[in-house]
Structure 1
Amino acid sequence: MADILIVDDIAENLQILQLILRNEGHKVYAAISGEVAMTIAQAHLPELIISDINMPNMDGLELCKLLKQSSSTTHIPVIFVSAERETDQIVEALEVGGVDYITKPFKPAEVLARVNTQLKLIEANKLAVRQQLSQVMNQMVVGIAHEINTPLGAAITASTHFDGVLTQLIESFDNQTLSAEQLKDGLDDSKQGVALCERNLQRVAKFVKVLKDIAQIERPTSSEPLNTISFLNDLKSAWSKQGVMLEISSVDMNFEADRDILLNVFDSLLDNSLAHAELIEGKALTIEVSIKDQNICFLYYDHGKGLQGITIDELLKPFITTKRGNSGHVGLSASVTANLIDSALNGTYHLSEQGRGLEWQIEIPINSG
């Protein structure tokens, strides 16, 4: 069943729609004006909005325009209601972003048919997104297998060269022909070889970690009772040992989720901020937690410079990285994190930039098991 917001300045119309929808098991929010509806929509993010067109002050058309201008509500479909059958009004309603319309007086069968059509479209879109994410995961695995060959090959080459240098030094030592200059050159050569091996093996290790993260997406979740304060304090303590300042603002709430996967999500976000966000010295990374209906809402931002030279859509694509960080970044953390939230935690995510760096708004069910 869905969360639906209905908007009408006439109480009787609200009551009729509430009765029709609640009898089908839907959770219904009601607003007597466009202004109230906007507040409710931003706070609760309903799956569908049914709004009267003709209302005083802010009419349904203006409400729809505002909804479509907000990044948090732009995805919510709007069905319009009007007593008028004038073609120009219906056309205008569809032009501002409406997906369908219902005429007064209400016919329960028509209302439910149009609502069900939109809900089926929403589910179909979610399914398409999941299938697309699954395809992306497969592409990632194939891509990683290809990408890992380069640093691994470089490390093997460096170690082979290192072995050759040591062999020559040992032979010279055994033959008592080893000079101080030859020893110094050999040690310098060896030091460079070790450094090259280390850099490339660290890159291989990053790819291996990503493979483990991808495996978490597909594995069965193992939910356990958690507390927001305790969970975040553990996260804060772990990262403080690495010298990272993490500021927490959270409601005290019990919930159920896969702890390892949730930790993985925040570890990835924090690690990515440290590597790429050009953080402000002395400014803490921030996690705010609130409750929205039956969801825990995590808001994460790092006060960094945000995305530069890349869009949010590009950030979520595999093997694409920002131009801010080091060249050793594998370009997979954002897409894997998004998949963990969507698939493993059965949640939703929204990325935006509000002047505090890249923001992740993550919602997971209070009971995500």
Structure 2
Amino acid sequence: MNDILVVEDQEFDFRIIKAILEEKHHSLTHATSAEHALVEIHRHLPALILMDIEMPGMNGLELCRQLKQDEYSAHVPIIFISSYSDRQHIDEAFAAGGVDYIVKPFNKTEVQQRVSTYLMLIEATHRQQQISTLKDILLMTSGLAHELNTPLGNCLTASGSLEMQSQTLHQALNKKSLTAKALNSGLQKIDHANTLLMRNLLKTSEMVGEFQTMFNDYSTPDGEAINIHDMALMLFEPFTYQSYPFRLSFDVQGQLHMDHGSNTIQRVLLELMANSCKHAQLEPGDNLEVVLKLEQRGQYAQLIYEDNAAELSAEQAAQILSPFYTTARANGALGLGGTRIAQGITLLLNGSIEVQALRPRGVRFSIQVPLQSQSGSPNRLQAGARY
């Protein structure tokens, strides 16, 4: 079942469309004016819009232009329905952003086929997005298998050594030829193998634990306000005990009101701070500086996170969000932090994220999150003091 919004001020015409499309089991919502349509669209974003051109107040062309200028609704296809069949009206409809044009009186087969065509295109797009997500998951799974290969191989080596040393000692004991020197040597080898085994088992457990966090549920109660300033200060406290003095500064205007996502944003900030500390390459006496900026840009909130932790090339910055990539592998880092950040922003919040290397050192994460969720009431950035 697909959600279709019909914007039509004539009740008779709507009833005809309703009868035609419900025959194909489509779900319809009716708006009698452009103003009514905006309320319905912000309450629930439809998959497709059928829109009359001539309506009292704002006409269909004006509404279409407004919807196409809003990033929240710009991707929704709009099919115009009108009694005008001349070239000028048709050209104006396409120029405003419409994808198709149906002339009244309605032909049932034509309406059903055109609506079905666009709904199939929408479904194909969604399917492609799902395939892309699945490919990302398969890539991460493949990467995890690759990362686990070394510690598991070491575990097998250690286990084999333990078995061999145990057999050697048992054989010597059965033959009553076990000397104190041989016993001491065997026990030392067993201790070494056991240490190797435990170290690699712990490494394996750490990898699996980090991978599991990729799919945590970060649900949030409806209508929760996100105070980036207070949230960052709370997360910042544990990092004050790092090797470098950690200083946090803000350029934040007000609170971010969302109907979902505060847990995700908190997790992203935590990952960003942890990565800053993990990759810091500062001289003694230098401060690890982190700057947070938040502002509204159209229908999006833009959160910028900057640090001065390490010198990165543009190539390294471009790979930060890739699965298992890290510049600190020599220190045992797994490299899932960047992937968790990207997952939280793109998959859970339907946002976007860009990474840029700074000079002389540092990195900037530019995060955009929609102020309107796909399924709820509008989020908003509430005006307030600049911290």
Alignment of 1:1-369 (within 5 A): 23-24=63-64, 26=66, 108-113=92-97, 131-158=131-158, 161=161, 177-178=179-180, 183=184, 189=189, 192-193=192-193, 195-216=195-216, 219=217, 221-223=219-221, 225=224, 226-242=226-242, 245-249=246-250, 250-256=252-258, 257-281=260-284, 282-292=286-296, 293-308=298-313, 310-319=315-324, 321-322=325-326, 325-326=329-330, 328-355=332-359, 356-366=361-371, 368=373
Paired residues of 2:65 and 2:97 also in contact (CA < 8 A): no
* Residue 191 to residue 288, structure 1, CA distance change in 2 (3 Å): farther
Give TM-score scaled by structure 2 length: 0.54
State the one-letter code of the partner of 1:274: C
Q: Secondary structure at the match of 1:360?
A: strand
Q: Secondary structure at the match of 2:333?
A: coil
Report how far residue 136 of structure 1 moved: 1.1
Give TM-score scaled by structure 1 length: 0.56
Structure 2: state its 5+ residue gaps.
1-37, 42-57, 73-90, 101-120, 377-387
CA distance, structure 2, for counterparts of residue 315 and residue 113 of structure 1: 37
Report how far residue 283 of structure 1 moved: 2.1
- Measured on the aligned residues, the alpha-carbon RMSD in Å equals 4.8
Report how far residue 284 of structure 1 moved: 1.9
Q: Secondary structure at the match of 1:222?
A: coil
Structure 1: state its 5+ residue gaps.
3-17, 30-45, 49-106
State the one-letter code of the partner of 1:238: P
State the one-letter code of the partner of 1:251: Q
**1:78-105 deviation digits (Å, cap 9, x = unpaired):** xxxxxxxxxxxxxxxxxxxxxxxxxxxx
* Residue 366 to residue 111, structure 1, CA distance change in 2 (3 Å): closer
CA distance, structure 2, for counterparts of residue 360 and residue 123 of structure 1: 32
**Corresponding position of 2:32:** none
Paired residues of 2:64 and 2:97 also in contact (CA < 8 A): no
**Corresponding position of 1:71:** none
How many percent of aligned residue pairs carry the same amino acid?
A: 23
**1:293-322 deviation digits (Å, cap 9, x = unpaired):** 454432222313343484444444334x35
Paired residues of 1:296 and 1:363 also in contact (CA < 8 A): yes
* Residue 316 to residue 237, structure 1, CA distance change in 2 (3 Å): closer
CA distance, structure 1, for counterparts of residue 164 and residue 190 of structure 2: 10
* Residue 289 to residue 308, structure 1, CA distance change in 2 (3 Å): closer
Report how far residue 166 of structure 1 moved: 8.0
Report how far residue 359 of structure 1 moved: 1.5
CA distance, structure 2, for counterparts of residue 156 and residue 361 of structure 1: 44
* Residue 197 to residue 259, structure 1, CA distance change in 2 (3 Å): farther
Report how far residue 252 of structure 1 moved: 3.8
Q: Secondary structure at the match of 1:209?
A: helix
Paired residues of 2:350 and 2:370 also in contact (CA < 8 A): yes
CA distance, structure 1, for counterparts of residue 282 and residue 123 of structure 2: 39
Q: Secondary structure at the match of 1:346?
A: coil
Report how far residue 133 of structure 1 moved: 3.4
* Residue 336 to residue 158, structure 1, CA distance change in 2 (3 Å): same
CA distance, structure 2, for counterparts of residue 162 and residue 204 of structure 1: 19
Worse-matched range after superposition: 303-312 or 288-297 = 303-312
Paired residues of 2:317 and 2:363 also in contact (CA < 8 A): no
Instruction: Give aligned pairs, total.
Output: 275
Q: Secondary structure at the match of 1:253?
A: strand
Report how far residue 162 of structure 1 moved: 5.3
Whichever of the two has the greater Rg, that structure is 2
Structure number with higher relative contact order (C-alpha < 8 Å, ≥ 6 residues apart): 2
Q: Secondary structure at the match of 1:251?
A: strand
* Residue 284 to residue 313, structure 1, CA distance change in 2 (3 Å): closer
Paired residues of 1:246 and 1:284 also in contact (CA < 8 A): yes
Q: Secondary structure at the match of 1:24?
A: helix
Paired residues of 2:326 and 2:333 also in contact (CA < 8 A): no
Report how far residue 195 of structure 1 moved: 4.7
CA distance, structure 2, for counterparts of residue 129 and residue 139 of structure 1: 15
**1:42-93 deviation digits (Å, cap 9, x = unpaired):** xxxx859xxxxxxxxxxxxxxxxxxxxxxxxxxxxxxxxxxxxxxxxxxxxx
**1:261-282 deviation digits (Å, cap 9, x = unpaired):** 3333233333333344534553
CA distance, structure 1, for counterparts of residue 199 and residue 307 of structure 2: 27
CA distance, structure 1, for counterparts of residue 372 and residue 247 of structure 2: 26
State the one-letter code of the partner of 2:350: N
